Structure 1
Amino acid sequence: MSFFRRKRLFTILISLIILVGLIGFSLRDREELSSVEEFIQDTVGSFQNVLLRPVYYVRDIVGNIDEMKHVYEENQQLKENLSTYQQKLYEVQELTKENEALQAVLDKTEALTDYQPIQATVIARSPEQWFNQVTINKGKQHGVEKDMAVITASGMIGKIQSSAQFTSTVLLLNGFDRSNRISVNVDLPETDSDAKGFILGYDDAREQLLLEFTDSYEDIALETTVFSSGLGGVFPKGLEIGSIEEVTTDQYGLTQIAYVKLSADIKELNHVIVVDRLLTSIDEVEESGDE
């Protein structure tokens, strides 16, 4: 073995001994570090601080972005939940409104003891007569015939203009003219009698019916209810039409007239009742008498 090789081996052994000694020295429980240890610790700490600061900064940015993403997702979920809640609330309100309307129609149907009520639903408004005609889902197969009165829980809305097998067209009161006049009675409580007249049409400007009296009456009060009289053979007696809004005379000052506000809202129609009068015809009465 050469001198240099022995020297290198000796140096390595001495270094290992010193290293083991230093490790053992550093592992001892001591209150204070040596100057060398303090220097190494401070150097390493400073190096870690410089090296890890960008890492922490990037980590914080990534964390904030991830948190913002979660906040956005939660916000979107809350918006969806709010939209669903509003939709459900709207559906509940519509169902409540629908239920009240159906209950009112049922109550009105039960009250029509003198007639044969046929419940129906409005399914369309006629394009050519959007404001004064509607189509219902009942027709001849259900007993609906031309000229039958049509009402809601609030009052009369018109009559059957034409009837097919399964649907019918209703002419609303705002489409009435002198050819579709209605014989009516107006209560006069102070005289225990009725004022008589005819509904002759509809005033589009006032959105009210025009009532012409057959005589002059002094005791007609405003907001008095107008009912069908049953005369004329088309409309049954006692169907509410509207209330008196104004009493005046025609342009010549000869005929007493009144403007009548409709009891039913003909602009918002859903469930209606077709009133079958169930009257016995004159021919049937005569045939019964001959027997």
Structure 2
Amino acid sequence: MPQFFMNKRLIILLVGIIILVALIGFSLRDREQISWPEQFIKDTAGFVQNIFAKPANLVAGFVENVQDLKNTYEENKILKSRMDEYAKIKVEVNRLQKENEELQALLDKEKDLSAYTPIHASVISRNPERWNETIIINKGEVHGVETNMAVITAEGMIGKIKSVGKITSHVQLLSAADRTNRIHATIQGSEDVYGLIDGYDDETKYLLLKEIPSDKKIEADQDVITSGFGGVFPKGLYLGKVEKVEADQYGLTQTAYIKPAANFYNIENVIVVVRDMEQPENEADKVDGS
């Protein structure tokens, strides 16, 4: 009896294997239509997949939307911070632009004060009796020369136009003994100091720079130029160097002795300086050449 059951199990196993192989072979054939069992299994599997796919897609979409929302929130924070930075940068740009405009205006003013057009001329005469006061040049009104224009050489300023003819002009030298022969000047240094060239010392042959505040420290060898603030001469015409400084008798101001840069005695060629910036109409505003 046990032998029969063992043979029966073996027979069932073999039959099952044969059926399985047959089904596998049947399913592997090229067919235009599938069998109803296969169709049933596929439909059942598709139905089950469809039931589970929709919730899964909803969950996946929800998670994705949450992630997008989180990303949007982070991006919004970054954009807000950048907007704050942009606002700060805009304020800084506006400040720098305003500052740049102010500095440019100052630079243009500086250029205006120092800008001039040269008129080249030659010395044609000099009065022996007034050798230290006047020379005559070969340029006059027809060449654009006017009274009180500065006259310079390659070394520095020598004087101003005193009178003008049609084709000649008289130049009054800085060494002339004339109380109206005044020039607003600047002593260059770490801090510019201003004063008036007012007079000439015949003994030392130095120009006298007066009305310097007593609290200003002046040292020898500092350069002296025209300031441009006198209303007539342009800024930057070289006058000479400081030799020494003395306080006045009351101690309120100082007087600097300036060694002229130009040679007043050997003059052949000069330049008449035509200031580009308009001169003040009010004569009371003038200092240079007053």
Q: TM-score, normalised by structure 1?
A: 0.55
Check conservation: 2:209, 2:255, Cα contact below 8 A: yes
Check conservation: 1:195, 1:217, Cα contact below 8 A: no
| Alpha-carbon distance in 2 for matches of 1:148, 1:282 | 13
| Alpha-carbon distance in 2 for matches of 1:113, 1:197 | 18
Residue equivalent to 1:196: 194
Instruction: Figure out how many residues of one structure are paired with residues of the other and give that number.
Output: 169
3-state DSSP class of the match of 2:142? helix
Residue equivalent to 1:116: 117
3-state DSSP class of the match of 2:204? coil
| Alpha-carbon distance in 2 for matches of 1:239, 1:281 | 17
Check conservation: 1:139, 1:168, Cα contact below 8 A: yes
3-state DSSP class of the match of 1:178? coil
Shift of 1:250: 2.2
Change (3 A) 1:221 1:202: same
Residue equivalent to 2:273: 275
Q: For 1:144-164, what per-residue CA distance to the aligned partner results, in whole angstroms no more than 9, with x for missing partners?
A: 110000000110000000010
Alignment of 1:180-191 (within 5 A): 180-189=181-190
Shift of 1:166: 0.7
Q: For 1:52-94, what per-residue CA distance to the aligned partner results, in whole angstroms no more than 9, with x for missing partners?
A: xxxxxxxxxxxxxxxxxxxxxxxxxxxxxxxxxxxxxxxxxxx
Which amino acid in structure 1 is aligned with residue 247 of structure 2? T
Residue equivalent to 2:228: 230
Shift of 1:181: 1.0
Check conservation: 1:188, 1:219, Cα contact below 8 A: no
| Alpha-carbon distance in 2 for matches of 1:198, 1:280 | 21
Runs of 4 or more above 6 Å deviation: none
Change (3 A) 1:223 1:136: same
Residue equivalent to 2:259: 261
| Alpha-carbon distance in 1 for matches of 2:199, 2:114 | 29
Check conservation: 2:186, 2:195, Cα contact below 8 A: yes
Check conservation: 2:184, 2:227, Cα contact below 8 A: yes
Unaligned runs of at least 5 residues, structure 2: 1-112, 282-290
Select the structure of larger CA radius of gyration: 2
Q: For 1:107-128, what per-residue CA distance to the aligned partner results, in whole angstroms no more than 9, with x for missing partners?
A: xxxxx98211000011111244
Shift of 1:176: 5.0
Moved more, 173-182 or 202-211: 173-182
Residue equivalent to 2:160: 159
3-state DSSP class of the match of 1:179? coil
1 or 2 for the larger relative contact order (CA 8 Å, sep ≥6)?
Answer: 2
- Taking every aligned residue pair, what percent have the same amino acid on both sides? 50
